[in-house]
Each structure stands twice: as C-alpha cells, then as structure tokens.
Structure 1
Amino acid sequence: MSAASTPRTPLACIYDWERRCPDTVHFTQPVGGGNVVEYTWKQAVDQARRIAAYLQSLNFPPKSQIAILGKNSAHWIIADWAIWMAGHVTVPLYPTLAADTVRYILEHSESKLLFVGKLDGWAAMKPGVPKDLPVVTLPLAPPTEGEQWDDILARTAPLQGNPDRDLDEMATIVYTSGSTGQPKGVMQSFRSFYVCGTKMVDIMPSKPDDRMISYLPLAHVAERIVVETQSTYHGFHVFFAESLETFLDDLKRARPTIFFSVPRLWTKFQLGVEAKLPKKKQEILFRIPILGRRVKRKILEGLGLDHVRIGLTGAAPLPPPTIAWYRSLGLELLEAYGMTENMAYSHFSRPNAARIGYVGQANVGVECRIDPETREVLVKSPGQMMGYFKEPQKTAECYTADGFFKTGDMGEIDSEGRLRITGRVKELFKTSKGKYVAPVPIENKLGAHPKVEAVCVGGANQPATFALMLLAEDARKAAANDADYRAALEGELKTLIDEVNAGLDPHEQLAFAVVVKEPWTIDNGALTPTMKIRRNVIEERTAPKIDGWFAARKAVIWDA
C-alpha cells in the first residue's frame, strides 16, 4: 500500500495492512538477554482489537482521555491504536517525568485510565498516579498494581469490524515539556496524522521494505510522526531499542534505512569514533582513494548506519562540523524543524538541497514568514493544533490576526526559501551595558568544539556574557583524572573563547567560560526529554556563583 490519495486515518491504514500483509513482521521488540519477539501485522492488530474491546467494556464516556506512560515499545504503539479503535483520545507521558508532573498531566487531562509500560524510574513516578485511576500494565512494565495486558488478551475477544474515526476528531493531547512552567496540553486531530503520513513523501519517501529503530520518546510528536505514523501509513518494519547499554547492538540488529536522531546523539557517535580513530588519522586515511572508502564504510558499519539512506536530525541545532563529518562519510544529515503545536510538520531539508545551519524549506502546504519587527518565525501549517486543552486564552494569544502560529523562535529565510533559526525571542537578554544578546548563535559556535557536549550562555544584567560548558563524557573523565590533560584542555577552551569572541560584537563577547561539574541530564531537570537545555533551571542553580566567577578574573573556570 502506498499513501492513499483519499484522506484516511491511521486506523484505516492498519486495517489495510492487516488484510493485505497479515504475516509480514511489523515490530521487533527486544525482551532482554539479546532475545527479541516479532509481531506481524495480524498479531499486532489483533492485540489492539482485544485491548480496544476491553476499553469499551469499561463504559467510559465517548472520546475519553486514556494515558500512556512508558518507554518506547511495540505495545506502546499497539495501545495507541487500541485507544483510538475504542473511540478515545491518547495522552502520552514522557517516561522521565517527576511525580508532580505525572499527577498534573493525569489530572489536567482528565484521564480515565493509565497504561504503564517499560520504565526505569517507576518507584519515583508512581506517587503521582491518583489512587483511584485504573492501571493496565504493558509487557515489560515494572511490577505494580492493575490489570495485566496479557491477561486481558487471554480473556477478551477481538473487536470486530473496522471502527474508524473522523479526520477532524481529536486524536491525542500532547503535553509540551517546555522549559518553564507547567506543560500545556496540545490537542491534535487525526487530520494532523493524515497530513504527516501522506505529505512528507517528497522529503522522506518511505517504502514497505524500509527499517527504522524507535528510541527517542514516543511521547514527543517527532518520534510519533517520523516513526509511528510513517510506518503506519507506509508499512515498514520498526525495531525498538532495549537500553542505552545495548543501543549499538540494537542499532546493528535493525540496520535502519531511515534514521532519526537528535544533535547530542549524532555528536556522541562522532566522539566515540574519534576516541578509537583520531581525527588527524581519519583525514590521512580518507585521502587514500580505495582505503579511504573502506574506512568510511567500516565506520558506518560499526555504528550500524551503513544502510541508512535518509538521516534526519532535529530538536536543536547540529554543529556544522558534525554535519560536515557525516557528509565526509557519505551520509547526508537532513535538518528538520517543527513544534508540538504543528505536529512537527513545518520545515525539512531536502536531499541534495540542504544548507548547513538551515532547517530547510517549508513542507507542502506550510506557509512561513518572518515578523519584520521581532524577527519571530510565524508558521501556518496543515498540521496545526486544535488548541491548548482547557486553555482558550493561551490558544488565542499564540496566533496572529491572520492565523499564523507564533513559534517564539527567531529566524531568517534565504533566497531558496530555507529557514535558519537564530534564537528564541524570549531568550534575548540584556547585559548591564543595556544591549540585547541572543545566546543561541554563541552557543552553537562554542558547541562545535568536539570536547564540548552542551553550552548555556548567560549574562542577564551582568557586566558581560559568559558560557557554562558541559564537557563530552570522555573529556570529563580525562580532565578529572589527568592534570596534564586538564591543563591542555584549558588552553584549548581559552583559544576557543578568543576565536568566538573575534566574531562577536563587543557587547556579546564572553568574559569567561565555566566548565560545569555536574552533568546536565533529563533526570536532574537540566534537559528536556528531547535533550534541549532548560535554561531557567541551569541559570537558577548557578546564580549564587556568578559574582564569584566574575571576581576570579579567569578565562576558564572549573566549577567546584
């Protein structure tokens, strides 16, 4: 089946695959110890039908909210299908949330039932689940109270027929992680899934024999669209990752033909290769015609990326040197841009037409313009949300009078229509000199250094700007254990600051850089679930030290 010419929901697609390719494997799920379980279309849809029949037996009001809290798995997606099949609305929760946020989302969304899936920190999250909320545990879930998926399957007959939904019905409420305040519930319709499933063929021409690995949170619209929705509409094979420790093995098992990742992981892959094969040695080997091709191929094989024909990156800017390195291996990374509010259907770089530092041209049906005064990126997308759940005032505030969504991002468009994101409107700050500074472009320049994993530039109401730097894991360990390495790295960072400052206006120039001691992680709240920095959290934690850093008058400061 190819993308249908007539509008159809994800449910219509899975019924078609069930009928036409019942014995084709759709999911490969690791279950521990290097073992996997495979699910054909017939098996996966049969489970969805049984769970849907169970949900209907509970007699919830039509179009009730049903929540899913768990890491990616075959049963996460099957539960999503079952919720829709039963006539309800899916509310996905990130598998790394604090208990207070879990409670807020479950209560704000008015969820009637919670599916609990594979989780590492269930004990910390469980207090956020209301005592009277029914729970169903998916396979691989931690032991807890509630109905078990397999028990429901064993006693429940599959729902008959092919119950479908109207394209303009609400399909899901996706709570944005955000960088400040309580998350907002973004309401998306089945039409947004249809748009993403059928209109992206010029960028991501998926085929039934493609393979993808699902490991970025399915609670985020990017993974839900790029992996779940594309595979539902185009029928390709989806593999799942078991854990961070087994990820390379999982990747090699899948040998994906389409691979979607975020900048931090693309960078980690590169640093892992350079730890075994230093950059200077690579450059020498790459110049030798036949041997160079073999080495490049070997590197991609070692990463499990040797079959990738479409490489996608999004969520944050990827340093140009990293993009160039992958291109040197023969893998063109295509940057993408989108938001929860438009189902990530906004901008994609086209193959052979990508410009480094730009997130590509507007997708089919998308209109984009730049506000002439604020430089804010304004987008009108066919994947636009129905609004924020129970927040009509906030919904109204985020649109222009003629219906363009205010993204909050600043940008510019080149002569070919490609968009470049230059910062966040609200992230602009003034130093005590009274001039505005956009931190993101400075962070991108500093973050291009191979030993720097992430950067946060601050300086609001201070005499000058400064940078907080998180070192890459290998550099962090080496600096902690080897004084000579640390001294050499300090010299590199001083040079980096000088080079970056040379390209900045005087009021933007960095007074110093602080090498942070504590890693920024999702668990400690410094990163969003999509691994963007939470600027407000980092700034709040470091505020008491700022005066001391300025007083130290050093170019590089090692946080104690």
Structure 2
Amino acid sequence: MTYDSIPARLFARAKSHPDQPAYHVRGADGWVARSYGEYANQVRRAAKALIALGCEPGHTVSILGFNRPEWVILDVASMAAGGAPAGIYTTCSAKEVQFIIDHAASPVVLIENKEQWAKIHAERAKLPRLRHVVFMGNEKVDDPLCLTWEEFLAKGAAIPDKRLDDEVDNTSPDDLATVIYTSGTTGPPKAVVLTHENLAWTAGIAVKITGITPADCALSYLPLSHIAEQMFSVHVPITSGASIYFAESIERVPDNLKEVQPTIFFGVPRIWEKFNDGVRAKMADATGAKKAILAFARATGTAMAAVRGAGKRPGALLALRYALASKLVFSKLKPALGLGRARICVTGAAPISRQILEFFASLDVIVLEVYGQSEGSGPTSFNLPDRFRFGTVGPALEGVDVKIADDGEILLRGPNVFAG
C-alpha cells in the first residue's frame, strides 16, 4: 500500500480534483492559475528528469532561488524520485553555497539566475560531485554544467511512468524527505534531516488545527529554504487543496498582498512590526469624528478578541457594536493592508511583542503566535483560531509531548521530531 507521503497526496489530489487551482503566478495581464492536474504533471516530468540524470534513491537536490513554481515543483519531484530537496538561502555567500551543496552531496542544483550561478561558478572546483546546474527559467549560460528548465524536463521523456510510480509506492514513513539547513551560530550551517512521516504528519495536524480548505489561499514570499514557508507553500496546500500565489519579488510583496487578499497569511515578527508602524503613523493623523470612530472600533475589536480568545460567542450588544465597527473601519482598513479576506494570520520564527498582537486584535486582525523549530518539522505549539492568548505560543500540538528540562532546555517527543 502506498504511504501517504506529500508526493502521493499531490498525485491523488490531481486525480480527484484535476482542475482545482494549485498555484498562481503574476503575468502581464494579471494572475494566472495552474491546476493541481498541471502541478502534478510538472512534478512527474521533473522527477523523471532527475531519474534520467542518474539521481538515485537517497540523493539530494539543492535549490537556490526566490519563491516560484520551479522551486516547489522540484522540491516535491525530489521526494517523488526517492530523494530529498535541500534549500539554500539566496543571501548565502559563495562559500556557504559551496558548503551546503557539498555537504548535501547534491549532483543537481536548481538556481534562479546568473547571480546565483556566479556563486557556484566561483566555487565549482570544490564541488566534485556536482553534475548539473538547472536554471528556473530559460536563461542560458555557455557551460556544460548548465541546463535551462525546459532542457532539464526534456531529459526525463524516456523514463516510463511506472518507474516513477514504483518509487512513490516504495516510499516508507522513515525515508529521507527533506534537508533543512539552519544557521550555524558557532560554525557552518547544520543539517536537519526530516522524514516523510515528519512532513506528512505535521501538514495533516496543521490542516486540522486551522481548518484550511481548497477555498483558502496564501501568498508565498518568505524563504522556501525555511521549514515554516515549506509548510505554508508546499505541504499544507497539497494536503488541504488550498492554492498559493507566488510573490513577484520581495519588493513587490506589499502590492501583491493587496492584489491577492489571501485568506491565510504567515508573517515573521518583522513583517508585523512594519505593518504596525505604518498603520500607527496613519492613525496618528486622525482628528475629530474620525479619531472618535477609530477609538470606538479599536475598543470593540479588543473586546471581541477577548471573547473569541476564550472560545466564547459575543453577546447581542457586542455583536451589534462589532457589525458597526466592521462597516465603518475594519472593512476599509484590512483590505488596505492586504488582509481583507484573511481568516488566519500567523507569526513565528522569532519573538513578537504582545503589544503588537493586541494592537492588531483591536483592528480585527487576530495574529496567532506559534512556536517551533526545524527539528520539529516547523510547529511545536500553536494558538488556535478559536482559543488563543496573546503573549503565549499556545498549547503543544496534539500528539506532541513538550517538557522543560531542569537546565531550561525544551524537550520534544512526537511524530514531528526529526530523524537526526
């Protein structure tokens, strides 16, 4: 029986809902959707290309670039072919890129552009196992190592579908699925090895907690080399059927956010701090009746958040106040941020001020703080949409045991804990 891995889930969804939107990219005339059927076909082609290039089970494929379809396609394709992706931050130096590619023993590397190619080219003498460098687009470099994306996909044309299907069918829960490189505070980056069970279980529990459905969508813009963004952009969408919008660039995120109005939004504390500064600056200009209306709306939002956080329903008077505040303030302010449809907002990866969380709650934007680490496949604890408390990171995930050791070390046990 086929294990319920992330690639298996993608192929199953493509069969049951082939026309469901999977991801969107920004074109000259607006956002263009690609279906789960197309997504799965692209993953199959990429996985067969990896097999054709000699990638054996247990191999890794390093990926270096900003968020775009080719990133997630090769991520899942690596797993489908029996291997694992190893993401590299775009900000890494040439020496750091060389270290990760060499440490991961990747025969194939996917890169975004010539800027990233320059890093590999500078250190290629120290990469004896590197055989192919694939560009995400059709940028050409006159070097025998380099392939365009289409040239790469064409390599797998002769590989039969059954060869790939057998590889997916033979996947076991404890097989290597992905390698996350974390910042080495006292040396080079450290590798965190996650299994198929780690990813599949964590994505499943995240969907259960948040209630994410095919009607939901998110904006992909944070580094995909981080396990949190991989969960939000790859594993959770495939598990739930939600769709992703790929930001055009980090500079275009504010504009893309306003265009997309995602229902799910994950922002590290620095993002929320910038939102906080911008909104407060504009609110400071309010005077007279406008200032009074804002004060009324914020008081109402704060009261509503207290009720919701306790898992209760608002009384008739608060419900009436909330409806009025929504019409006068919230319905205008939230779309201006790009959060007009957001029903789940999350923050993590670093501490955030409780005052910032309370400020957004007063504007009817509930930001759920979570705690986790790469070694725990992302989340360890999670404030729930219907029960949350600001200044905390919520209860441990169902099925995960957390203990604080005498020396203050946080101890974890559960299906999300890494293999080593």
Q: TM-score, normalised by structure 2?
A: 0.84
Q: What SS does structure 1 have at the residue aligned with 2:389?
A: coil
Please state how far the C-alpha of 1:386 moved relative to its aligned partner: 0.9
- In structure 2, the partner of 1:386 is 419
The alpha-carbon distance between structure 1 residues 143 and 270, as it changes in their structure 2 partners (threshold 3 A), is farther
Instruction: Decide whether the 8 Å contact of 2:64 with 2:89 is kept in 1.
Output: yes
282-291 or 328-337, which moves further after superposition? Answer: 282-291
1:84 aligns with 2:92: no
5+ residue gaps, structure 1, are 1-5, 388-560
Structure 1 counterpart of 2:20, which letter? T
Q: For 1:495-506, what aligned pairs fall within 5 Å after superposition?
A: none
1:225 aligns with 2:234: no
The alpha-carbon distance between structure 1 residues 120 and 354, as it changes in their structure 2 partners (threshold 3 A), is farther
* Residue 268 of structure 1, aligned match among 254, 270, 274: 274
What is the aligned residue count?
A: 380
Structure 2 counterpart of 1:54, which letter? A
* Residue 45 of structure 1, aligned match among 40, 46, 53: 40
For the aligned residues, what is the CA RMSD? Answer: 2.4
Deviation string, structure 1 residues 69-116 (Cα, Å, up to 9, x no partner): 111111111111211222222111111111111111111111111011
The alpha-carbon distance between structure 1 residues 291 and 366, as it changes in their structure 2 partners (threshold 3 A), is closer
Please state how far the C-alpha of 1:367 moved relative to its aligned partner: 0.7
Distance 1:279 1:293 in 2: 21
95-104 or 110-119, which moves further after superposition? Answer: 110-119
1:10 aligns with 2:6: yes
Instruction: Decide whether the 8 Å contact of 1:323 with 1:332 is kept in 2.
Output: yes
Q: Higher relative contact order by CA 8 Å / sep ≥ 6: 1 or 2?
A: 2
The alpha-carbon distance between structure 1 residues 34 and 127, as it changes in their structure 2 partners (threshold 3 A), is farther
- In structure 2, the partner of 1:149 is 149
- In structure 2, the partner of 1:259 is 265
- In structure 2, the partner of 1:501 is none
The alpha-carbon distance between structure 1 residues 111 and 353, as it changes in their structure 2 partners (threshold 3 A), is same
Q: For 1:72-471, what aligned pairs fall within 5 Å after superposition?
A: 72-117=67-112, 123-124=118-119, 126-129=121-124, 130=126, 133=130, 134-139=132-137, 145=143, 146-154=146-154, 156-157=156-157, 159-161=160-162, 162=165, 163-164=167-168, 165-278=171-284, 284-288=292-296, 290=324, 293-372=327-406, 374-387=407-420
- In structure 1, the partner of 2:26 is 30
Structure 2 counterpart of 1:160, which letter? D
Please state how far the C-alpha of 1:166 moved relative to its aligned partner: 1.4
Q: TM-score, normalised by structure 1?
A: 0.64
Instruction: Decide whether the 8 Å contact of 2:7 with 2:77 is kept in 1.
Output: no
The alpha-carbon distance between structure 1 residues 265 and 247, as it changes in their structure 2 partners (threshold 3 A), is same
Q: What SS does structure 1 have at the residue aligned with 2:211?
A: coil
Instruction: Decide whether the 8 Å contact of 2:43 with 2:76 is kept in 1.
Output: yes
The alpha-carbon distance between structure 1 residues 61 and 243, as it changes in their structure 2 partners (threshold 3 A), is closer
Instruction: Decide whether the 8 Å contact of 2:400 with 2:415 is kept in 1.
Output: yes
Deviation string, structure 1 residues 48-69 (Cα, Å, up to 9, x no partner): 2112112111223332121111
Q: For 1:50-61, what aligned pairs fall within 5 Å after superposition?
A: 50-61=45-56
- In structure 1, the partner of 2:65 is 70
Please state how far the C-alpha of 1:293 moved relative to its aligned partner: 4.4
The alpha-carbon distance between structure 1 residues 178 and 35, as it changes in their structure 2 partners (threshold 3 A), is farther
Please state how far the C-alpha of 1:47 moved relative to its aligned partner: 1.6
Distance 2:214 2:147 in 1: 35
The alpha-carbon distance between structure 1 residues 17 and 295, as it changes in their structure 2 partners (threshold 3 A), is same
Structure 1 counterpart of 2:383, which letter? S
Instruction: Decide whether the 8 Å contact of 1:346 with 1:362 is kept in 2.
Output: yes
- In structure 2, the partner of 1:20 is 16
Structure 1 counterpart of 2:410, which letter? V
The alpha-carbon distance between structure 1 residues 358 and 383, as it changes in their structure 2 partners (threshold 3 A), is same
Distance 1:128 1:280 in 2: 56
Distance 2:59 2:70 in 1: 20
- In structure 2, the partner of 1:391 is none
Identity, in percent, stands at 31
Q: What SS does structure 2 have at the residue aligned with 1:362?
A: coil
Distance 2:237 2:12 in 1: 13
Instruction: Decide whether the 8 Å contact of 1:64 with 1:111 is kept in 2.
Output: yes
Distance 2:33 2:113 in 1: 17
Instruction: Decide whether the 8 Å contact of 1:10 with 1:232 is kept in 2.
Output: yes
Q: For 1:486-497, what aligned pairs fall within 5 Å after superposition?
A: none
Q: What SS does structure 2 have at the residue aligned with 1:226?
A: helix
Structure 1 counterpart of 2:13, which letter? W
Please state how far the C-alpha of 1:383 moved relative to its aligned partner: 0.9
Instruction: Decide whether the 8 Å contact of 1:286 with 1:296 is kept in 2.
Output: no
Instruction: Decide whether the 8 Å contact of 2:94 with 2:120 is kept in 1.
Output: yes
Q: What SS does structure 1 have at the residue aligned with 2:206?
A: coil
Please state how far the C-alpha of 1:119 moved relative to its aligned partner: 7.8
Instruction: Decide whether the 8 Å contact of 1:337 with 1:348 is kept in 2.
Output: yes
Deviation string, structure 1 residues 209-266 (Cα, Å, up to 9, x no partner): 1101111111101111133110011111110111233212211232111111100001
Q: Whose helix fraction is larger, Structure 1's or Structure 2's?
A: 2
The alpha-carbon distance between structure 1 residues 293 and 22, as it changes in their structure 2 partners (threshold 3 A), is same
Q: What SS does structure 2 have at the residue aligned with 1:361?
A: coil
Structure 2 counterpart of 1:364, which letter? E
Structure 1 counterpart of 2:375, which letter? E
The alpha-carbon distance between structure 1 residues 111 and 335, as it changes in their structure 2 partners (threshold 3 A), is same
